[in-house]
Amino acid sequence: MANSPLDAANFLTGIKMRLEENSKKALTKVGRVVSEESKRVLGTYDYGWPRLQPETIKHKATGDSPLLETGELRESIGYTVDEENHTVAIGTNDPNGKFMELGTSRIPPRSFLVAAAMAKEAEIQEILGRDRIEQAVKESKEAKGLPTGAVSAFVKDIEK
């Protein structure tokens, strides 16, 4: 729970997803998908962000490119998987990231982390659902003493 507005801003600078039953492999895929989308959207208006002010554009080396100037913010986006707690944390260690994500009294919010997770929701659900199916089939086969190599073939059959 956040104790102050700054704590809340720091929390929202990253996304932490608790996914009880999913494997490290699936959590890693989710982290990669969301962090890549967060990086991709910088410098675009793909999420309907407010336009930059003409004065701002005039002073930017990269022109009309919101949240993109030096590439530092893009390079700072990453993720970590905590396999023991079944979580993936996606965020930035750039101290300005929270101001970009949430806005300030002078800068409108331009969500690049939460919005990326929302934009990739269907893909995340597919990754996690496929992972659970693979785990369930593997556990079932192991319980029955059957070989586990056919898990992929079974999942492909389900997709048809």
In a domain, 50, yes or no: yes
User: Which distant-in-sequence residues (6+ apart) come within 8 Å of 2 by Cβ?
Assistant: 8, 11
In a domain, 140, yes or no: no
In a domain, 152, yes or no: no
In a domain, 146, yes or no: no
Mean pLDDT of 123-129: 90
pLDDT at residue 9 in the model: 46
What's the domain range around 10?
A: 5-120
pLDDT band at 11 (very low <50, low <70, confident <90, very high): very low
The DSSP-derived string for the chain is: --SSHHHHHHHHTSEEEE-TT--HHHHHHHHHHHHHHHHHHTTS-TT-PPPPPHHHHHH-TT-S-TT-SSSHHHHHEEEEEETTTTEEEEEE--TTHHHHHH--SSS----SSHHHHHHTHHHHHHHHHHHHHHHHHHHHHHHHT--STTHHHHHHHHH-
In a domain, 102, yes or no: yes
Mean pLDDT, rounded, of the chain = 81
In a domain, 141, yes or no: no
Q: Is the pLDDT of residue 40 over 70?
A: yes
Q: Is the pLDDT of residue 30 over 60?
A: yes
Give the total number of structural domains in the chain: 1
pLDDT, tens digit, 9 for 90 and up, residues 48-73: 999 999 999 999 999 999 999 999 99
Q: What are phi and psi of 117, to 5 degrees?
A: -65, -40
pLDDT, tens digit, 9 for 90 and up, residues 68-116: 999 999 999 999 998 888 889 999 999 999 999 999 999 999 999 999 9
Residues of the chain above pLDDT 90, percent: 57
Q: Is the pLDDT of residue 2 over 60?
A: no
